[in-house]
Amino acid sequence: MIGERADFRSLAGEIAGEIILPGDAGYEAGRRVWNGMIDKRPLGIVRCSGSGDVLAAIAFARAYGIVVAVRGGSHNIAGNATCDDGLVIDLSPMKSIDVDQTRRRVRVDGGVVWGELDAATQRFGLATNGGLMPSTGIAGFTLGGGLGHLMRSYGLACDSLVSAEVVTADGRKLMASAEQNDDLYWAIRGGGGNFGVVTSFEFRLHEVGPIMLGGRLGYPLADGPEVLRFYREFIAGAPDQLIVYAGFSTSPEGEPRLGMRAVFNGPIAEGESLLKPLRQFGTPVQDDIKPRTYVDIQKIVEPMFPPGRLNYWKANFVDILSDELIDLLVAAYGRVPSRYSNIAVEPMGGVVARVPDTDTAFHHRAPAYSLLILGGWLGANESEANIAWVRELWDATRPLSSSAVYVNYLGAEGDARVKDAYGPNHARLSEIKRKYDPDNFFRLNQNVEPA
Ligand SMILES: Cc1cc2nc3c(=O)[nH]c(=O)nc-3n(C[C@H](O)[C@H](O)[C@H](O)COP(=O)(O)OP(=O)(O)OC[C@H]3O[C@@H](n4cnc5c(N)ncnc54)[C@H](O)[C@@H]3O)c2cc1C
């Protein structure tokens, strides 16, 4: 094997960060990602301290013909942040965050996770649309688009990306922005890790919080059909500042529930009045909507998705939350084989939908919802039943949803699904890939092949 000839200890002498090899302390943690289904063994892991280390790692991998995986927050369900028999370029030690309060901008290293960025920007009463989990990496999240609590107010994470520093496959360090390498700038706003290693991101910031109205509503599963029909009308008429996610999960007591999570990005009193009809509809068994800090709101989801569990997800965008689809979801969650599995109905709209769908590589801006079926379980002996539940439900929803999918929710599902993720933007991505990575050096991702 080519990689076996590579002298990884020589790479250690060229980098300021650390190299971890099989047998070293830290190898087990370093090869693992959030999804416990992924069990890969890289030849080495370069824990980068800066863009110089990234350049050295790329040069080394090229010299020895070794495949690379790029790691940010390691949350990706497909597990492309690690690999078998390759080199992991791990950006997670790169943690610089520099807030410019006056210009409302922040420059962030590629290893930062959302909890760190939210905490840093909220010190100035600012934020940009980030992930629902503090432990999700800003890098993979933004490069795929980035759906979150503030997206209806300010667009996707990639819509607030002003510039980025990208290390390319041929060892150049480029700036990507509207002024410099604008094709690359277009491509990294949704096109994932296909074009190079993004070592830093500059985001536009917005005034947010620090106190906002947010929290959850919970209903018995049996109330699901009626409550979701009301929700559908409610969210269709909601202003941009209000987002209400819906979904199915199992309560700590083991009860299957329909749940909602509401966040209002505006004055508390206005949020209270807007949310009143939703909170008064039906008979919720849980209502913890109250004023909270934005940072706390961003932590609500975290306990539901600890790292290391076995996970299998499938998703699609949905144009209409039809009665048939609602009934199907409720019935399917009634048969869920694992209490750790969920279904998420994520409302899009607002500013997301007002950005033209060819302005960024992220294309699917018109759908009303993203539907995500999240299978999660503990033991390998449960895998078959849980994967079957996810697949059967996804198959049943297909006639009722669009074929389009959010790239960051894809597992290892093949080329056709990558095309589903990019729609008509795929051809342009493929041209830009040819310009910046003609050999498809960066291929452990939702891969767009060079034209
Ligand atoms: C529990 C959980 C919650 C989530 N919540 C949300 C959510 O609220 N909204 C949402 O939109 N998505 C969400 N996601 C999906 C998430 O956006 C993707 O998993 C995303 O890829 C995570 O980014 P990461 O940096 O943590 O991932 P990683 O697994 O580290 O990276 C994913 C891929 O991105 C590329 N990549 C990462 N870093 C870089 C870099 N610096 N330069 C170039 N390429 C890079 C690589 O191809 C890599 O394989 C969630 C995922 C999980 C597991």
The pLDDT score that the predictor gives to residue 5 is: 63
Residue with tokens 């863009």: 51
CA dihedral sign, ordered 9, 10, 11, 15 = positive
The pLDDT score that the predictor gives to residue 308 is: 96
* Percent of the chain clearing pLDDT 70 (strictly above): 99
For the cut 90, the answer to whether the pLDDT of residue 4 exceeds it is: no
Q: Is 410 in the pocket of ligand 1 (CB under 6 A)?
A: no
Q: Is 141 in the pocket of ligand 1 (CB under 6 A)?
A: yes
Distance 268 CA to ligand 1 centre (A): 32
Atom of ligand 1 nearest to the CA of 111: 41
Question: What confidence tier does 7 reach under pLDDT thresholds 50, 70, 90?
Answer: confident
| Cβ partners under 8 Å of residue 439, min gap 6 | 169, 450
All structural domains of the chain: 16-90 (3.30.43.10), 97-208+426-436 (3.30.465.10), 211-409 (3.40.462.20)
Q: Quick one: average pLDDT of 126-145?
A: 97
For the cut 60, the answer to whether the pLDDT of residue 2 exceeds it is: no
Q: Is 143 in the pocket of ligand 1 (CB under 6 A)?
A: yes
Peptide bond into 367 cis (omega under 30): no
Atom of ligand 1 nearest to the CA of 311: 53
Tell me the sheet residues that pair with 258.
Answer: 219, 248
Distance 74 CA to ligand 1 centre (A): 6
Q: What is the pLDDT of residues 192-217, one digit of tens each?
A: 999 999 999 999 999 999 999 999 99
Q: What is the model's pTM?
A: 0.97
Q: What is the pLDDT of residues 275-324, one digit of tens each?
A: 999 999 999 999 999 999 999 999 999 999 999 999 999 999 999 999 99
Q: Return the residue whose CA atom lies nearest to atom 51 of ligand 1.
A: 75
Q: Is 37 in the pocket of ligand 1 (CB under 6 A)?
A: no
Atom of ligand 1 nearest to the CA of 131: 8
Q: Is 190 in the pocket of ligand 1 (CB under 6 A)?
A: no
Residue with tokens 């909601």: 238
Q: Quick one: average pLDDT of 232-260?
A: 97
The pLDDT score that the predictor gives to residue 1 is: 46
Two tokens at 154?
């300010």
Distance 408 CA to ligand 1 centre (A): 6
The pLDDT score that the predictor gives to residue 81 is: 97
User: DSSP label at 113?
Assistant: B
Q: Is 70 in the pocket of ligand 1 (CB under 6 A)?
A: yes
Residue with tokens 């927050």: 73
Atom of ligand 1 nearest to the CA of 409: 15
For the cut 90, the answer to whether the pLDDT of residue 47 exceeds it is: yes
| Cβ partners under 8 Å of residue 45, min gap 6 | 19, 20, 21, 26, 27, 30, 31, 87, 88, 90
For the cut 60, the answer to whether the pLDDT of residue 10 exceeds it is: yes
Q: Return the residue whose CA atom lies nearest to atom 48 of ligand 1.
A: 81
Give the residue ranges of DSSP H helices in 123-192.
138-144, 151-154, 182-188
Q: Is 74 in the pocket of ligand 1 (CB under 6 A)?
A: yes
* Percent of the chain clearing pLDDT 90 (strictly above): 97
For the cut 70, the answer to whether the pLDDT of residue 115 exceeds it is: yes
Q: Give the residue, out of 143, 158, 263, 447, with the most ligand 1 atoms within 8 A of its beta carbon, to mutate for a pocket test.
A: 143
Give CA–CA dist 33/80, Å, rounded.
Answer: 9
The pLDDT score that the predictor gives to residue 6 is: 74
Question: What confidence tier does 440 reach under pLDDT thresholds 50, 70, 90?
Answer: very high
SS3 content of the chain, % helix, strand, coil (to 5): 35, 25, 40
Distance 111 CA to ligand 1 centre (A): 11
The pLDDT score that the predictor gives to residue 349 is: 97
Q: Quick one: average pLDDT of 113-119?
A: 98
Q: Is 79 in the pocket of ligand 1 (CB under 6 A)?
A: no
Question: What confidence tier does 9 reach under pLDDT thresholds 50, 70, 90?
Answer: confident
